[in-house]
A and B are shown apart, each in its own frame.
Chain A
Amino acid sequence: MSIQVRNIRKQFGGFTALKDVSLDFPTGELVALLGPSGCGKTTLLRIIAGLESADGGQVLLDGADASDTHVRERQVGFVFQHYALFRHMTVFDNVAFGMRMKPRAQRPSEAAIKAKVTELLKLVQLDWIADRFPSQLSGGQRQRIALARALAVEPRVLLLDEPFGALDAKVRKELRRWLRRLHDELHITSIFVTHDQEEALEVADRVVLMDHGKVEQVGTPEEVYRHPASPFVYGFLGSVNLFHGRVENEAVHVGGERLSADKVALDAGSEVVAFARPHELNIVVSPEDASGVPARISRILSFGVTARVELDGLNGSSGQIFEVEMTREEVGQLGLHEGQAVRLVPSRLSIFERGVTGVPAPAAPNWEI
């Protein structure tokens, strides 16, 4: 089933949670709502579910206006961040709950309920713990039971609020893959909320990036990662190095130093911010080189496949920290050592004019982990 939201607005007292949000969620897709805490993503999810009502706008389920439909009748499966499993019921009773609450005329027989619950527990690979209580399960198991419980009422859409938020890193990774596979089996339109960019990019068919109650960008994981539409998106989807500069002689200059030789199609004198991912920065050791931003190496971390070099900015960009990713061989070849003064030359730059699209404050890209 498709979901559309049209011009949704929501205010909590003086705080605007959602400003005129319109989105299309096509049938059968797994979509991630991604953004920092307080960006309105959970509120949007709860409005779609009917757990919260919008101040304005519409929610269309399968093209029909559902704004006045009660949660009970919306047939949405909702999975809560903290699972909200009923503590006093066994796993079996939890999953059977939705079927048992149906009006007598529509309620399946106990045998049919048992068959359905067993089938669902098999689907989430937990049929061996049917008679346990939620307190006896691990976090990952609880999450899967919560999912099975939501699926038991055969929802038309599945909504998941930070489904892996309360789990440790390893279980999280496993569950991500598992959710993706499950979605490929069931093809039920699903939306999940997350603040973890890796999770969103890895699991979803499409990613909706939100900030301050607005949609910043919608696209496939590849699109949003490769072509971020705004500085916010750029900063949110991975580590970045940030340069504040101005355009002079068709090139970006940072504190008098030319950042790169690439030509920039912006008016001279415009204030810009330029972004480069850690692997898009090169370190140049020869001091006579004219271009690049001067910096001093503060730390070299060379445990994994790639080495990470942390640098402190000098001159015009002092007080700033840069991060460069390179192979360990390169570190050896260049003979880098801590305390060395070098220059940073970007191989690829993404440039945004300042003040146009809500450029983040310096040194505060959203590093939410």
Chain B
Amino acid sequence: MASRSNRVLPGFGLSLGYTLVYLSLIVLIPLAAVFVKSSSLGFEQFWNVVTAPTVVASYKLSFGASLLAASINAVFGLMLAWALVRYSFPGKRLVDALVDLPFALPTAVAGIALTALYAPNGWVGQHLEPLGIKVAFTPLGVLVALIFIGLPFVVRTVQPILEDLDTEYEEAAVSLGANRWQAFRHVVFPTLMPALLTGFAMAFARAVGEYGSVIFIAGNIPMVSEITPLMIITKLEQYDYAGATAIAVVMLVFSFTLLLAINGLQAWTAKRTGRER
């Protein structure tokens, strides 16, 4: 170091060095390997693999359903967190514990359970069938599974912020003449927005990569209900490692771009609201 710095916290060099090495070993090097492996294809071949009609259809399903699931989770996760923080009701602790279940459950178990429920002869499926609603083995089933696994992310990121939010702010809003909705819309919601965005991003990221719980309920009909991770697995099973990594690269770039955009949005709201300058 050129200049001697007097930091209060010691060990900056050590901790940063450790962080970088660790991140490289665990995240960057494996991801780089994906790029290296896929580059063995050559551009034309790569392009053919990643733009094959079934693969393109799977992108649409995977990213579309994930975005939709994360949005739905953002709305209902916020409501759930609100109910858990603001009200007391019998069995509240049980509900609170239930929220984490999608985290803990092996994804295959979730997949089997959902399929059993929503299959045309399942508990829920048999009632939906006469209405013309098919859930299992359709894109709708994929959506249901993705909502299931993404819910805890939103609840668990919004909950602590909501707990910290003093009711004083709402009281102030109401004493200034705001009605309940205005107090929520103008005072509570903007405060929760950054956490909600984080929860949304995490739910989305998890949904894009989800395999286990989706694969059972999706039915995996080509061009209709095949998700991108399935395309990768299929390629792997055919020992087409280069092809599998090619699709992985596309997913990676997509996901990274979207997460970057969400982060940017977060930074923008933070800046706009004076949390950082």
> Which residues of A pack against B, CB within 8 Å?
49-51, 71-72, 76-78, 80, 82, 84, 86-90, 97-98, 101-102, 132-136, 149-150, 152-153
Minimal Cβ-Cβ distance residue in A for B170: A84
Q: Bound complex: CA of A101 vs CA of B176, how far in Å?
A: 8
Contact bitstring B251-277, A, C-beta under 8 A = 1, else 0: 000000000000000000000111101
- On whether the beta carbons of A82 and B186 are closer than 8 Å, the reply is no
- On whether the beta carbons of A98 and B273 are closer than 8 Å, the reply is no
A161 CB to closest chain B CB (Å) equals 10
Contact bitstring B153-177, A, C-beta under 8 A = 1, else 0: 0000000000000101101111111
A242 CB to closest chain B CB (Å) equals 39
- On whether the beta carbons of B176 and A136 are closer than 8 Å, the reply is no
Minimal Cβ-Cβ distance residue in A for B185: A101
Contact bitstring B183-200, A, C-beta under 8 A = 1, else 0: 000110011000000000
Q: Knowing A51-B171, A82-B168, A97-B186, say if A88 contacts B177 (CB, 8 Å).
A: no
Q: Which of A77, A82, A101, A132 contacts B182 (CB 8 A)?
A: A101
Q: Bound complex: CA of A152 vs CA of B178, how far in Å?
A: 13
> Which residues of B pack against A, CB within 8 Å?
166, 168-169, 171-179, 182, 186-187, 190-191, 272-275, 277
- On whether the beta carbons of A135 and B275 are closer than 8 Å, the reply is yes
- On whether the beta carbons of B175 and A49 are closer than 8 Å, the reply is yes
Minimal Cβ-Cβ distance residue in B for A51: B171
Q: Which of B168, B171, B177, B277 contacts A101 (CB 8 A)?
A: B177
B272 CB to closest chain A CB (Å) equals 8
Minimal Cβ-Cβ distance residue in A for B190: A88
Minimal Cβ-Cβ distance residue in B for A88: B273
CB<8 Å pairs between A and B, sample of 15: A71-B171, A72-B178, A77-B175, A78-B171, A78-B172, A80-B172, A84-B166, A84-B168, A84-B169, A87-B191, A88-B190, A102-B177, A135-B275, A149-B172, A150-B175
B90 CB to closest chain A CB (Å) equals 19
Q: Bound complex: CA of A72 vs CA of B178, how far in Å?
A: 7
- On whether the beta carbons of B186 and A51 are closer than 8 Å, the reply is no
Minimal Cβ-Cβ distance residue in B for A93: B186
Chain B residues near A135 (CB, 8 Å)?
Answer: 274-275
Q: Knowing A82-B168, A86-B169, A98-B177, say if A134 contacts B274 (CB, 8 Å).
A: yes
Q: Which of A71, A87, A132 contacts B175 (CB 8 A)?
A: A71
Chain B residues near A87 (CB, 8 Å)?
Answer: 191, 273-275
Q: Knowing A87-B274, A134-B274, A135-B275, say if A97 contacts B173 (CB, 8 Å).
A: yes
Q: Bound complex: CA of A135 vs CA of B273, how far in Å?
A: 10
Q: Knowing A101-B182, A135-B275, A136-B274, say if A72 contacts B174 (CB, 8 Å).
A: yes
Which are the 3 A-B pairs with shortest beta-carbon distances? A133-B274, A88-B273, A98-B176
Q: Bound complex: CA of A271 vs CA of B178, how far in Å?
A: 57
Q: Bound complex: CA of A98 vs CA of B171, how far in Å?
A: 12
- On whether the beta carbons of A76 and B187 are closer than 8 Å, the reply is no
B121 CB to closest chain A CB (Å) equals 51
Chain B residues near A51 (CB, 8 Å)?
Answer: 171, 175
Chain A residues near B272 (CB, 8 Å)?
Answer: 88
B175 CB to closest chain A CB (Å) equals 4
Chain A residues near B178 (CB, 8 Å)?
Answer: 72, 97-98, 101
A325 CB to closest chain B CB (Å) equals 41
Q: Bound complex: CA of A215 vs CA of B190, how far in Å?
A: 42
Chain B residues near A98 (CB, 8 Å)?
Answer: 176-178
B173 CB to closest chain A CB (Å) equals 7
Chain A residues near B171 (CB, 8 Å)?
Answer: 51, 71, 78, 80, 84
Given contacts A80-B171, A86-B169, A150-B175, 10 further A-B contacts (CB under 8 A): A51-B171, A51-B175, A72-B174, A82-B166, A88-B274, A97-B186, A101-B186, A136-B277, A150-B176, A152-B176
Chain A residues near B275 (CB, 8 Å)?
Answer: 87-88, 135
B193 CB to closest chain A CB (Å) equals 8
Chain A residues near B187 (CB, 8 Å)?
Answer: 86
A16 CB to closest chain B CB (Å) equals 23
A154 CB to closest chain B CB (Å) equals 10
A135 CB to closest chain B CB (Å) equals 6
- On whether the beta carbons of B274 and A72 are closer than 8 Å, the reply is no
Most buried by A among B166, B168, B178, B274: B274
Q: Which of B169, B177, B182, B274 contacts A153 (CB 8 A)?
A: B177
Minimal Cβ-Cβ distance residue in B for A136: B274
A206 CB to closest chain B CB (Å) equals 24
- On whether the beta carbons of A88 and B191 are closer than 8 Å, the reply is yes
Chain A residues near B191 (CB, 8 Å)?
Answer: 87-88
Q: Knowing A86-B169, A88-B273, A136-B274, say if A71 contacts B174 (CB, 8 Å).
A: yes
Chain A residues near B174 (CB, 8 Å)?
Answer: 71-72
Minimal Cβ-Cβ distance residue in B for A73: B177
Chain B residues near A72 (CB, 8 Å)?
Answer: 174-175, 177-179
- On whether the beta carbons of B173 and A76 are closer than 8 Å, the reply is no
Q: Bound complex: CA of A135 vs CA of B178, how far in Å?
A: 23
Q: Bound complex: CA of A132 vs CA of B274, how far in Å?
A: 8
Q: Bound complex: CA of A51 vs CA of B274, how far in Å?
A: 29
Most buried by B among A86, A98, A132: A86
Q: Bound complex: CA of A89 vs CA of B274, how far in Å?
A: 8
Chain A residues near B176 (CB, 8 Å)?
Answer: 97-98, 101, 149-150, 152-153
Chain B residues near A90 (CB, 8 Å)?
Answer: 274
Q: Bound complex: CA of A71 vs CA of B170, how far in Å?
A: 12
Q: Bound complex: CA of A89 vs CA of B272, how far in Å?
A: 9
Minimal Cβ-Cβ distance residue in B for A98: B176
Chain B residues near A77 (CB, 8 Å)?
Answer: 175
